[in-house]
Structure 1
Amino acid sequence: MQRLDFLSLLRRMATHLFSLLLGVVLTASFLLAFPVQAGVEAPLDKSSESVAVAPEGIPIARPLTPSMGPTSFVTAAVNQVGAAVVRIDTERTITRRNVDPLFEDPFFRQFFGDDRFSRMPREERLRGQGSGFIIDRSGIVLTNAHVVNGADKVTVTLKDGRIFKGKVRGADEVTDLAVVKLEGVSHDLPVATLGDSDQVQVGDWAIAVGNPVGLDNTVTLGIISTLHRSSAQVGIPDKRLDFIQTDAAINPGNSGGPLLNAQGEVIGINTAIRADAMGIGFAIPINQAKAIQDRLVRGERVAHPYLGVQMVTLTPELAHENNIDPNSAFLVPEIEGVLVVKVLPNTPAASAGLRRGDVITQVDGKSILKADQLQTLVESTRVGQTLQVTVQRSDRVQQITVKTGELQDAA
């Protein structure tokens, strides 16, 4: 019995050995039939940048990776601009007010003593942090207005460790842009190259550089998600902006830093404005900053014309839904245009006689179909300019003359 078991084991071993030898022979035959030359790269198929073709005509997949030789395009872009990106630290003093009237009660003060009461803190120092980038060798830094608003002290730190005192030369809250001048600059500084935001397209690469949540010199990568995202859509109707939307991560501390294209040019100013946003960031187009930066450097106030209405885009379908709703506040014409939802008191619109429920269809003979179109048109006018506004009021068409006012005066 043991002899039979031993013979059976030998047969199994012989079978496995034969299978192994057969595999070696087949492999050698394949290599002889398809020789591989070490160090020789298969030529590229001219019809596609992502496919290589072997001598026998067998396509070999290649990964599509945007690169510039041995250095990635992201590295090249950041190396071009990174030294011009700065961290901005701010401090401001606020007066602490005692909301409890007990502190002002004479009996309370007599019981606890005026000296103890006087030692209670009356002022508090608040610190903030953001980003910016140098746009002129003399030390002009562009950033967000909300980064430096109300600051008593501004400190600017460069990537190489140099620290400068900064002075806010000008700020415009409506566009959320500000200019800071570095003090004590004795030699040339690195400067960021400004691009053209009008040439940006959806799907382009987007590189955000800044100091999010105190983490200096942070770089994130994404694409341009959409263009002309109005400030009303973003949730800040008091601004006058059409944002660049990107999925590159933008967090608190990124505000004021540059958004770059693949060539390392600044196409936007990052603005962290939506705490509830996940994977969505917004940037002010750089051309918006170019239009007013010189005035901010000179310390001039930027005038913004306005009408004084709250408005929404109206379509026949939306108007019909409103009119068949028994709870609707008013009926509206079932046409395309801009519906006046509210006329603010003591504004140019109120003085001109615009009413709630009016549908604006033209301004100076130009058709108006969307609310952001009307806002852009008004923003492009001068303060005090007269506009001929065509409105549909119930079943009548009326011409109303409106003279634009200055937005700051409405505050």
Structure 2
Amino acid sequence: MAVTTTTTTTAAYSLICSATLTPPRTPKLNNTTTTLFSSNKSLILFPQLNTLKRTNKFHFSITTKPFNKPFITFPCLDSFFILCTSLALSMSLFLIDIDAASAFAVTPARKLQSDELATVQLFQQNTPSVVYITNLAVRQDAFTLDVLEVPQGSGSGFVWDKDGHVVTNYHVIRNASDLRVTLADQSTFEARVVGFDQDKDVAVLRIDAPADKLRPLPVGVSADLLVGQKVYAIGNPFGLDHTLTTGVISGLRREISSAATGRPIQDVIQTDAAINPGNSGGPLLDSSGNLIGINTAIYSPSGASSGVGFSIPVDTVGGIVDQLVKFGKVTRPILGIKFAPDQSVEQLGVSGVLVLDAPANGPAGKAGLQPTKRDGYGRLILGDIITSVNGKKVTNGSDLYRILDQCKVGEQVMVEVLRGDQKEKIPVVLEPKADET
């Protein structure tokens, strides 16, 4: 007859109960219970044998308690029970299934923490907006004289709108004869340059891609950023496909120089998120997935990521992109001068910007600023030294650029200069660059 149990207390107990046992013939001591006595003063209670015949299975329990009354002993019962137990253990090795075994060793499923899930979701949602840009240049083979397009650089960018505008760094596309943009689904499109701003290292491209393939990034705000908040950089470093690096904002209001013109870029975001060659032009995102900057440069003597990266803030980028999309150019005011390096002025023991040249057809030349020149004997005569503009002190070229960035084309500014030993104030009407008219 088959012996089964409804509850188990130990693994061995379960295995024993899964075997097929035939209890030995036992004396009947009462009408309700068949009692078997062992020599160790423990009693084993079985249900009535009549019930066993009707149901073909029974439930039993094991209890131990002292027994001081005379009892019947069966010397062979212990040996028989041990033999049955051994047989049950042996048979269980073949009869037990995987589900039963797994009940004794359950490995919980690996779960991600909430911050990990947020990072994974951010990467999955924003990766379709990041593109890979290949810069191709025309080269002529020295032996065959064939004209070939040779990749001379690569970088990252991101989709700005559904019209196919893509934003990247200017130094990514500089000197390119042909540009190709690869989307996240590996589809590649020819790109044309809409416009660029060398001074701020921003460029806008356009591709003729279906609207359903374009996923613009949500534009955030960079004015309220705080040091210590988490940021995420997505790009294609070293040509690798879509790579995510994380970090925090490690500094604000930094200043770097444009890779193309050397003009300073103010209010730059500093981050410790790894930015390597190929990350240039890629987006810097906040924890909500909003665009807060364009990854543009790293500070590294060796050329590898040193944990100090810089991103142009989105508040600066937004205005530039809007002008480039609408007009194809950025109208930034200039004084129309060439000035000496800051070190040269420091050697003279003065503070300000020394005017080397002021073309007569430029704003400063029209206003009467004096350039540096030589007299009939070859002696150097210093030109005007600009010390302030609109009452704001000018100590070097970066100060002058910073002040002009806050002005508009056509605006009149008051330029204070040191001419010889005298200070003079000269009104100058600002004009756009000659190549941007």
TM-score range, shorter chain: 0.5 to 0.7
Match of 2:369 in 1: 353
Paired residue type of 1:197: S
Deviations 1:60-87 (A, max 9, x none): xxxxxxx972635433432332221111
Match of 1:151 in 2: 176
Q: What is the Cα-based RMSD across aligned positions, in Å?
A: 3.4
Match of 1:388 in 2: 414
Match of 1:92 in 2: 137
SS at match of 2:150: strand
Paired residue type of 2:167: L
Deviations 1:164-209 (A, max 9, x none): 3323222222222122222141525222111111122233322211
- Report how far residue 143 of structure 1 moved: 1.0
- Report how far residue 393 of structure 1 moved: 4.9
Match of 1:283 among 289, 311, 317: 311
From the superposition, tell whether residues 343 and 384 of structure 1 become closer, same or farther in structure 2 (CA, over 3 Å): farther
Q: For 1:147 and 1:299, how far apart are their aligned partners in 2?
A: 21
SS at match of 2:132: strand
Match of 1:205 among 201, 209, 230: 230
The answer as to 2:331 corresponding to 1:303 is yes
Match of 1:241 in 2: 265
SS at match of 2:171: helix
Q: Which moved more, 1:173-182 or 1:401-410?
A: 401-410
8 Å Cα contact 1:81/1:192 also seen in 2: yes
The answer as to 2:167 corresponding to 1:142 is yes
Alignment map for 1:91-170 (pairs within 5 Å): 91-94=136-139, 120-121=144-145, 123-127=147-151, 128-170=153-195
What is the aligned length?
306
CA radius of gyration, larger in = 2
From the superposition, tell whether residues 299 and 92 of structure 1 become closer, same or farther in structure 2 (CA, over 3 Å): farther
From the superposition, tell whether residues 68 and 372 of structure 1 become closer, same or farther in structure 2 (CA, over 3 Å): farther
SS at match of 2:352: strand
- Report how far residue 249 of structure 1 moved: 1.6
Match of 1:69 among 114, 120, 143: 114
Paired residue type of 1:399: K
Q: For 1:375 and 1:91, how far apart are their aligned partners in 2?
A: 33
- Report how far residue 211 of structure 1 moved: 0.1
Paired residue type of 2:369: G
Match of 1:83 in 2: 128
- Report how far residue 359 of structure 1 moved: 5.6
Match of 1:185 among 210, 219, 222: 210
8 Å Cα contact 1:170/1:298 also seen in 2: no
Match of 1:343 in 2: 356
From the superposition, tell whether residues 95 and 385 of structure 1 become closer, same or farther in structure 2 (CA, over 3 Å): farther
The answer as to 2:434 corresponding to 1:404 is no
- Report how far residue 407 of structure 1 moved: 3.5
Paired residue type of 1:78: F
Match of 1:43 in 2: none
Q: For 1:235 and 1:83, how far apart are their aligned partners in 2?
A: 28
Moved runs in structure 1, 4+ residues, more than 6 A?
A: 311-314
The answer as to 2:279 corresponding to 1:269 is no
From the superposition, tell whether residues 229 and 150 of structure 1 become closer, same or farther in structure 2 (CA, over 3 Å): same
8 Å Cα contact 1:311/1:339 also seen in 2: no
> What TM-score, normalized to structure 2?
0.60
Match of 2:404 in 1: 378
- Report how far residue 354 of structure 1 moved: 4.9
Q: For 2:246 and 2:406, how far apart are their aligned partners in 1?
A: 33
Paired residue type of 1:280: V
Q: For 2:221 and 2:331, how far apart are their aligned partners in 1?
A: 24
8 Å Cα contact 1:89/1:155 also seen in 2: yes
Q: For 1:299 and 1:378, how far apart are their aligned partners in 2?
A: 21
Match of 2:198 in 1: 173
Identity %: 34
8 Å Cα contact 2:237/2:279 also seen in 1: yes
Q: Which moved more, 1:369-378 or 1:382-391?
A: 369-378
Q: For 1:239 and 1:306, how far apart are their aligned partners in 2?
A: 12
SS at match of 2:149: strand
Ranges in structure 1 where 5+ consecutive residues have no aligned partner: 1-66, 99-118, 323-327, 333-337
- Report how far residue 348 of structure 1 moved: 3.9
Q: Which has the higher contact order (CA 8 A, sep 6+)?
A: 1
The answer as to 2:244 corresponding to 1:219 is yes
